[in-house]
Amino acid sequence: MHKIFILLFITVALYATKINEVASIVGVRDNQLIGYSLVIGLKKTGDGTTSKFTLQSVSNMLKAMNIDMSPNDIKSKNVAAVVVTAKLPAFARQGDKIDITVSSIGDAKSLEGGTLLMTPLKGVDGKIYALGQGPLSIGGKNERGATSESHPTAGLVYGGGMVEREVGYDLYNKKVARLSLKHTNFSNAIAIQNTINNIYNSQVAVALDPRTIELKKPTNKSMIEFLAAIQNISVEYQQSKKIIINERTGTVVAGVDIVVKPVIITHGAMTVKILEQDSPDNPNDGVAVDQDLYLGLNQAEVYLKTGTTTVANVTRALQKLGATSKDIISILEAMKSSGAIAADLEVI
């Protein structure tokens, strides 16, 4: 099975973006919820007798309905024990519907066709914030009738959660709010501060650190109106240069202007040679890919001119030499380790 190598070109220079795309309002966030329950109505694909907690849970449920039965007497395979998770959106109100995720924790083969019983969903403080219940959806079926979902032991109940308790946060009466940048950067924090102050012609924004900007509400606006206007302001945002490598799929994402400094790296039968001169060593023995890049096919070398050598150049040259995605990733990692590449390299 051949892996596909993909190079995506991303502009990393300054570009205009709205504040709501690069920063969030402190305190306005989702909250995680979790619960334990049972899924019933399975077609003999539920937990077996080895999942003792499932049998005990069924026994406890029956006792709550005034049916006293020992777990040892329960042999049903139509029930599965599950953990239920959900996100409680910011400012969710009582009666709002939320989606919930249901995942088996026993040895059930499939949750297809099952129904989740009423499940209390609790926050980190142990309080119940929502109740979940309803039929599961685990994906459609393919042309052969088989479930297309690769994980039939997990599913969703769309709108199956109902909010019962609200998370209090009085944003309207606040005089001060804070923005939190998604990435720490001194220049971006100052750019957002100055842009906001220039628009309002006063010091309403102060960068407290490279990630946090404090905002003071003008007297002629409510906090909601102020934050709505702030989020739609366009700023010159500097995105950090980064190379992202997925070793499992062989995918590399890099910017077109990430420069590679002079370096010589040997990997197997290939030598990557980036020289600090106006012309390659052996242009006559190679093939010109473009005006700045040559392939020395006899020596299996790559020649590139300094100043125009980028990660994109190197990747394109190595592909023409027949390098695999694994080879290219190894060479890029070696360049980063040697200091030839200044951009951050992230392996996922």
pLDDT number for residue 335: 84
* Confidence class for position 279, pLDDT limits 50, 70, 90: low
Same domain, 156 and 180: no
Same domain, 234 and 253: no
pLDDT digits (tens, 9 = 90+) for 289-342: 554 555 555 445 566 554 567 787 777 777 777 778 888 888 888 888 888 887
pLDDT digits (tens, 9 = 90+) for 180-203: 999 888 999 999 999 999 999 999
Burial class (CB in 10 A: 0-12, 13-18, 19+), 218: middle
Same domain, 159 and 36: yes
Show which of 238, 266, 296 is a domain's final residue. 238
What does the alpha-carbon distance between residue 269 and residue 285 come to, in Å, rounded to a whole number? 17
Burial class (CB in 10 A: 0-12, 13-18, 19+), 131: middle
Residue 271 gets which letter from DSSP?
E
pLDDT number for residue 252: 77
Same domain, 211 and 276: no
Tally of domains in the chain: 3
Would the pLDDT of 129 be above 90?
yes
Contact present, 16 and 235 (Cβ < 8 Å): yes
Same domain, 85 and 148: yes
Same domain, 261 and 210: no
Contact present, 97 and 88 (Cβ < 8 Å): no
Show which of 208, 238, 268 is a domain's final residue. 238
Same domain, 220 and 286: no
Show which of 194, 215, 238 is a domain's final residue. 238
Q: Which one, of 291, 262, 238, lies nearest residue 12 by Cα?
A: 238
What does the alpha-carbon distance between residue 132 and residue 99 come to, in Å, rounded to a whole number? 9
Question: Sign of torsion, CA 52 54 57 59?
Answer: negative
Domain of residue 198, residue span:
15-27+171-238
Q: Which one, of 135, 190, 191, 123, lies nearest residue 160 by Cα?
A: 135
157 or 279, which is more confident?
157
* Confidence class for position 3, pLDDT limits 50, 70, 90: very low
Q: Kindly state whether residue 249 falls inside one of the protein's structural domains.
A: yes
pLDDT number for residue 142: 42
Same domain, 112 and 181: no
Q: What's the whole-model pTM score?
A: 0.69
DSSP 117-141: EEEEEE-TTS-EEEEEEEE-B---B
